[in-house]
Structure 1
Amino acid sequence: MLSACGANQQEPGAAGSTEFKKGGTLTIPVESASLDLDPAKSSNLAITTQSLFNRRLTTWRTEPGKPVVPVPDLATDTGSTTDGGKTWKYTLKPGLKFEDGTPVTAGDVKYGLERSFAPLLSGGFNYHKQFLIGGDSYAGPYDGKHLDSVEAPDDSTLIFKLNQAFGDWPWIVSQPAFAPVPKAKDNPQTYGKTPVATGPYRVADRADGQVVLERNPHWDPKTDSNRTAGPDKVIFKLGVSKETSVQSVIHGSGDGKFSFAGPVPASQLAALTANPNAKSRTLEAGGGSIDQVAINTSKPTLADLRVRQAINLATDKASYLVASGGRNRGSIATTNIPPALEGYEKFDVLPAPETGDVAKAKTLLAEAGHANGLDLVLVHQNSAEVTAQAQALQAGWQRAGIRVTLRSVDRPTYTDITMHQDGSGYDLALSRWQADFPSPYSMLQPSFSSKEIGKGGYNASRLADPTVDAAIDNATRQVDPAAAKAAWANADRLITALAPNVPLINSVNTWIYGAGLANFIVPPFPAYPNYFRISLLP
C-alpha cells in the first residue's frame, strides 16, 4: 500500500489524529441521484454505507498496514463448523435491539436473508444463493415459504446448511443480506427508504437530494466494538460528481472540511500533486482489484490459444497505465489474483516488456493463420477516462496487426452485452474487477467459472473449461487457510496460462479527506474508507 499523508498521521493507511470528539456532521458525496438502502438489494462492502445502520453476523476489521480480517458483529464469533465447512453455526450477542427498542432475534436474521431471494429485491450479492441448500429454486418469503437450509431453532441461534464445503462463509455473512429485518415492518416496495436500523445510526430524513442519518438511541456500544459512532449526523449528498466532490474537499469549501472524496479521477490527480495542502490529505491504497480485458473465448477465432496469447503479448500495458493516471494508479498485472489477497503468487506465464512484445505476437498470429492480422470489437463504458484507456489499448494492438474497433456504451448496455446476451456483440471487453470480500474466490469464481456465463454472470471471457471449474471447486472447499492459499494459487496459474483475459494493472485508488476528519482509514483491500470508524477532529 502506498500513502501520502499529513503530518498528524501516525500510521500508513490512516489519516488524522486518533483523538476525536463526539458530535458534528460527516458528509458523504454520492454520484447517484438516488440511494436505495434495502439490504437485500445492496452490494455494499462491509465497511461502507450499509454498515452505519445495518449490522450483520460478522463485519471487517481494517487496521493500517494489516490485512482485513472478519470479526464478530451481531454474532459472538465468526462462525463454527464441525463437518468441514458444510454446516455453520452462529449465536447472537445478548442485548441486541432494533431502533424501536424491540429485540433482534435469529428469526429476524433468517427473514432478512430469505427476502433477498425474492425477484423483486434482486441486485445484491448472490454468493449465499449459490451455497445454501435449496437456494437455486427458492423465491423468497412473500408466498409464505421458507428456506429450510437456514435454521433458527431459538431466538439466538442460526444454522446454515450448505450444498458443499465453503471455507469463506464467515466473509459471506458480513454481506448486507444478513442484516436482520423485522417481518412486521417489511414492505418490500418501500423498505429501502427507511430500513429498521440495528447500527449506531438510523434514517432521519430523505429530502432535497440527500439522506440524513441521526443517532439510533437503541444502539448499545457494549455490543459493538467495531463502530466508533463519532459524528452526530451523517449526510449522504446525492447526485454529486466525483470531480465536484474532490474540488470541495481540496478547498474545504461548504461541507468539504468534514467530507471525503474518491476514488479521485485520473484527470484530477495532477491537481492534488501540485497542491501541497491537498497532497498532505491524500491516501493511496490498492492491490485488491484488477483492470483487465476479457477475451470472448466463445468466438471461433478467439478460441485459439495462440490468438489469445498474441493479444496479451501485443498489449501495451505501460501506455494503459499512463492513460489511467500513471504509476500512482497501479502496477503492471500479470496474474488474476491481485497482491492484496491471500493466495497471490507473483508469476508471468507470458513474459514481455511492459510495452508488449509485438514481434512474438505477430509470430503467434501467423501460426494461427492470421498473418495479415485480424479485426476485433472491444466494448467499454463511455466515460472519458475509460475511453482514453481503450484508445491506448487500441494503439498497442494495432502494432501487431490486431485492428480493434471501439464500441462505447453506457453502463446498462455494457452489462447487457457482456452478462445477459449470447456473446455475439463483442470480442473484447474492458473492465475493472474488484473482489467483493478478501478471498481469491471472489476474483476467480465469478470471472472464470462456467456457471457464470450469461444469465447475469460475470464471466465475460465466456471461458468454459472443466479443469478450471475443478480447480475452482477444489479451492472453494478448503477450510484450512494454508491449503486454501495453495489451491487458489494453483487455480490462478491454470487460468492465466489459458489466456482468457489480459490482466492490465493492479489498480490503486486515491482518496482525499477533509481537514476536519479523524481516523480516515483506507486498507489495501478493499481500497475504500472504513465509514464506521471515521470521526471529526476536536
Structure 2
Amino acid sequence: MIAIAAGSLALTGCSKNEGGKSGKDSKKDQKEAAVQSKAVTYVDAAGSTGPAKDVPGAKPGGTITVYQEAGLSHLDPSQIYVSDAGQVANLLFRRLTQFQEDDKGNVSVVGDLATDSGKSSDGGKTWTFTLKDGIKDENGNPITSADVRHTVERQYAKFIFDGPTYLQTWLSGAEYRKALPGGGFDGKHLPASVLDTPDDKTVVFHFDQARPDLPQTLAMAGYAVVPAKGDTKERYEKKPVSTGPYKIAENKAGKTLKLVKNTNWDPKTDSVRHQYVDGFTIQFGVTESTQTKRLIADEGDNKNAIQLTNGVEATQIQDVINNPEASKRTVKGYQPYVMTLTFNLDRVKDKKVREAVTYAVNSKSLIAGEGGAYGGDVAPNYFAPTLPGYEPSYDPYGRLKTPQGNIAKAKEILKGVPAAEKKIVFAYANSEAGQKRKVAIEDALTKVGFDVVAKEVDAASYYEQIGKLKNPYDAYITGWGQDWPSPGTVVTPIYDGSQVFDGSANYSHVKDPKVDALIKKALTQNPTEAAKTWKEAHHYLLENVIPAAPLWYTKQFQISGSNVGGARYGSVSSLIDITRLYLKS
C-alpha cells in the first residue's frame, strides 16, 4: 500500500464498517484486522455502473473543513504513493478500476473509467478494458484510450519518480525507462504488442506472464488517468486536471487547498464516489494537538471539520474516550502499516550495528507517543496483522517480551564495534509525531552507546528526501502497508534489489541475491506455494539481512465535527472514508 504519511498517527479496517472498534485489546484488534487479508473480488459491468449507493440521511450543500499538519507530498497522480495525497486523490482522480467497500468492510474492484474490472485472456497474460461512455475531464474533454496510453507512458519519464512501479515493470522490465525514455512526449510510444489502443474505447495490456492482480494495481491512486490535454509535465503538480467529483479551485502550497464541484463529473458513471458537499477546504500547518482541541470543542466551523490523515493527538485520547459526545464522533481501525526504523545499507554496513539497534529500540515508548494501545501494537516482525501470512508469534528479537528494548543484549553485540560505526545520523519529520519519535529513538540508542545525530526533514517531502539514493542519513522511520492482500506488495516494493533507485520504496537499498531469487520464485507460484516462499523471504530478511528494525503496527483514531455525516472508517484508505461525507445541516 501507499506509505503512511510522515507524522501521521494512522491505519486500516475493521470487520464491520461503522467507525471501527479498534482500541485497547490488541489480540481482538488483530483478529478484526485479519478481515483485510481476505481476497478482493472482481466485479462485472452491472456492479460497476453508477450512481454509487446513497448514504442514508445524506444532504447536499456546504463546505467541509479539512485539517492537516504537513503539506501534501504530491498532486500529480503519477507521483502519488503516500496516504495524504492518496486521500485527496479519491476526490479528484479516476482510474481504470477502483476499490469499492460495503458497510461490512468487504472490498471489491469495480470498473471506474472502465465498464468493468477488466477481462483477461491468454492465461491471464492479456487484459482488456473498455471505457465507459460519457466520461469527461473537468474541462469537458472526453476521456479516451489515448489518455490511458498517455498516462501509462508518462510513468516512464524521468520526472515521475515517486509513484508505484508495478505496471511499468510488468510491461517493460526492471529497467523500464529504457523502453521509452521520452515518456511518450516525444512522439514515440510503446508498441501494440505491449500496450494496444485499437480504438477510442479499448485498452489492451500484454504481459510476458500472468498478472492476476492487475485490476487491483490499476485501482491505485498512482495510476489515475492524466488527460493528454493539459499535461504540463513537471508543472502538473500545481494544477492537475480532475476527472473525479471535485476539482482544484485554489492551491496555495503548504497553506490551503480548495476543492469545488467538478460539474463535468457524471455520477451515473461512478459507482464509488459521491458529491454531496459543495467543496472541501484543506488547511495545512494545523498541528495534531490543535486539530484535536478544536474538534473536541466542536464550536463554529469546527462542527463541519474532519482530519485528513492525522489523528487524535496522543495526550488527548483519554479526553475523547471519556467524553461520550466526542467519542461517538470518532472513527478507528487497524491499519496495514508496519512502522520500522529503516537502515540505509549503503551507510550502515556492519550487520552487528543493525542487530544491536534492532534489540535496543523501544517500541513501548514509541507507541506511547502514538496514543498507547489506541495508536498501535508492538511489531515483532515485518508482516502486519492485515496481511496474509502474518505470524503473530514470529519474534526473533524478543520484541513482545521486551517491548522497551533489550539494552543488555544490544550492548553485548556492540562490544568490539569501532566508535566511528556507532554514530547514527537519524532523519525525522518536523511534525509533532516526528518530534516524539526522535526523542524515543535518541533515548533508546544513546543508552546502549550510540552517538545519535538527529536531522530534521520537512514532513511534506519526507519520503521524497529519504527516497534519494544519495541521502545523507543512516536511519529513518518508515511505514509501509500492503497495496492489496498479498505479501508480494510488501516484500517486492521495499526489498527487491531491482527497486534500488531514486524515488523507490526500497529505502534500505537492499540488494540481496537470495531475496531477489525468492521474490522471483514467489511471483510465479500459486498463492499456497507462494505463501511458503514469502515466509522464507520474510524470515531471511529479518534474521540475516536486517534492513530495518520492526517497531509497531499502526492503528487510526480520528475525530470529526458533529455536523459531519456519513463518517466511517475506510478499509481501503485506512482513514475516514472521504468519498461519502455530507453536512447534516
Fold match, TM over 0.5? yes
- Do 1:293 and 1:502's aligned partners in 2 also have CA atoms closer than 8 Å? yes
Give the residue type in structure 1 aligned to 2:338. Answer: I
For 1:109 and 1:433, locate their aligned partners in 2 and report how far apart those are by CA, in whole Å. 28
- Give the alignment partner of residue 430 of structure 1, picking from 462, 477, 482: 477
* Partner in structure 2 of residue 152 of structure 1: 197
SS of 1:491 mapped into structure 2: helix
* Partner in structure 2 of residue 492 of structure 1: 538
For 1:142 and 1:47, locate their aligned partners in 2 and report how far apart those are by CA, in whole Å. 26
* 1:127-165 per-position Cα deviation (integer Å, ceiling 9, x unaligned): 333222273222322211222332211122111234554
* Partner in structure 2 of residue 136 of structure 1: 177
* Partner in structure 2 of residue 318 of structure 1: 364
* Partner in structure 2 of residue 339 of structure 1: 385
Please give the root-mean-square deviation of Cα atoms over the aligned residues, in Å.
3.6
* Partner in structure 1 of residue 27 of structure 2: none
Q: How does 1:82-231 map to 2 (within 5 A)?
A: 82-133=121-172, 135-137=176-178, 138=180, 139-148=182-191, 149-162=194-207, 165-188=210-233, 191-205=236-250, 210-231=256-277
* Partner in structure 1 of residue 8 of structure 2: none
Give the residue type in structure 1 aligned to 2:65. Answer: T
- Do 1:12 and 1:64's aligned partners in 2 also have CA atoms closer than 8 Å? no
For 2:99 and 2:530, locate their aligned partners in 1 and report how far apart those are by CA, in whole Å. 20
TM-score by length of 1: 0.85
The change in CA–CA distance for 1:122 and 1:235 in structure 2 (over 3 A counts) is same
How many angstroms does 1:331 deviate by? 0.4
* Partner in structure 1 of residue 301 of structure 2: 255
For 2:562 and 2:188, locate their aligned partners in 1 and report how far apart those are by CA, in whole Å. 52
How many angstroms does 1:537 deviate by? 2.4
SS of 2:331 mapped into structure 1: strand
* Partner in structure 2 of residue 25 of structure 1: 63
SS of 2:233 mapped into structure 1: coil
* Partner in structure 2 of residue 11 of structure 1: 18
- Give the alignment partner of residue 90 of structure 2, picking from 35, 51, 76: 51
The change in CA–CA distance for 1:99 and 1:445 in structure 2 (over 3 A counts) is same
For 2:168 and 2:402, locate their aligned partners in 1 and report how far apart those are by CA, in whole Å. 42
* Partner in structure 1 of residue 440 of structure 2: 392
* 1:9-47 per-position Cα deviation (integer Å, ceiling 9, x unaligned): 9834399x8321122222223445679643334336596
- Do 1:113 and 1:178's aligned partners in 2 also have CA atoms closer than 8 Å? yes
- Do 2:568 and 2:577's aligned partners in 1 also have CA atoms closer than 8 Å? yes
For 1:259 and 1:453, locate their aligned partners in 2 and report how far apart those are by CA, in whole Å. 40
- Do 2:12 and 2:570's aligned partners in 1 also have CA atoms closer than 8 Å? no
The change in CA–CA distance for 1:162 and 1:521 in structure 2 (over 3 A counts) is farther
The change in CA–CA distance for 1:246 and 1:530 in structure 2 (over 3 A counts) is same
For 2:463 and 2:250, locate their aligned partners in 1 and report how far apart those are by CA, in whole Å. 33
* 1:212-241 per-position Cα deviation (integer Å, ceiling 9, x unaligned): 433333433222111132213233334444
How many angstroms does 1:258 deviate by? 1.8
For 1:98 and 1:414, locate their aligned partners in 2 and report how far apart those are by CA, in whole Å. 31
How many angstroms does 1:496 deviate by? 2.0
SS of 1:474 mapped into structure 2: helix
Aligned-residue sequence identity (percent) comes to: 30
* 1:248-267 per-position Cα deviation (integer Å, ceiling 9, x unaligned): 32222342212211233334
- Give the alignment partner of residue 558 of structure 2, picking from 505, 511, 514: 511
Is residue 522 from structure 1 mapped to residue 569 from structure 2 by the alignment?
yes
How many angstroms does 1:123 deviate by? 3.9
Is residue 460 from structure 1 mapped to residue 507 from structure 2 by the alignment?
yes
SS of 2:121 mapped into structure 1: coil
* 1:142-193 per-position Cα deviation (integer Å, ceiling 9, x unaligned): 2112223322111221112345544432222123453334434444365545
How many angstroms does 1:436 deviate by? 4.7
SS of 2:514 mapped into structure 1: helix
For 1:422 and 1:50, locate their aligned partners in 2 and report how far apart those are by CA, in whole Å. 30
State the number of aligned residues. Answer: 526
- Do 1:65 and 1:523's aligned partners in 2 also have CA atoms closer than 8 Å? no
Give the residue type in structure 2 aligned to 1:356. Answer: G
SS of 2:575 mapped into structure 1: coil
For 1:142 and 1:362, locate their aligned partners in 2 and report how far apart those are by CA, in whole Å. 56
For 1:310 and 1:87, locate their aligned partners in 2 and report how far apart those are by CA, in whole Å. 48
For 2:371 and 2:504, locate their aligned partners in 1 and report how far apart those are by CA, in whole Å. 30
How many angstroms does 1:503 deviate by? 0.5
Q: Which stretches in structure 1 are left out of the alignment for 5+ residues?
A: none
SS of 2:357 mapped into structure 1: helix
Give the residue type in structure 2 aligned to 1:214. Answer: V
* Partner in structure 2 of residue 287 of structure 1: 335
Give the residue type in structure 2 aligned to 1:71. Answer: V
Q: How does 1:255-274 map to 2 (within 5 A)?
A: 255-261=301-307, 262-273=310-321
The change in CA–CA distance for 1:85 and 1:302 in structure 2 (over 3 A counts) is farther
How many angstroms does 1:535 deviate by? 2.3
- Do 2:359 and 2:405's aligned partners in 1 also have CA atoms closer than 8 Å? yes
- Do 1:41 and 1:122's aligned partners in 2 also have CA atoms closer than 8 Å? yes
How many angstroms does 1:494 deviate by? 2.6
For 1:521 and 1:157, locate their aligned partners in 2 and report how far apart those are by CA, in whole Å. 36
TM-score by length of 2: 0.78
* 1:373-404 per-position Cα deviation (integer Å, ceiling 9, x unaligned): 972314121444334323333433455x3424
* Partner in structure 1 of residue 30 of structure 2: none
For 1:19 and 1:203, locate their aligned partners in 2 and report how far apart those are by CA, in whole Å. 27
Give the residue type in structure 2 aligned to 1:13. Answer: G
Is residue 377 from structure 1 mapped to residue 444 from structure 2 by the alignment?
no
Give the residue type in structure 1 aligned to 2:330. Answer: T
How many angstroms does 1:511 deviate by? 0.8
How many angstroms does 1:435 deviate by? 4.1
- Do 1:23 and 1:230's aligned partners in 2 also have CA atoms closer than 8 Å? yes
For 2:121 and 2:274, locate their aligned partners in 1 and report how far apart those are by CA, in whole Å. 34
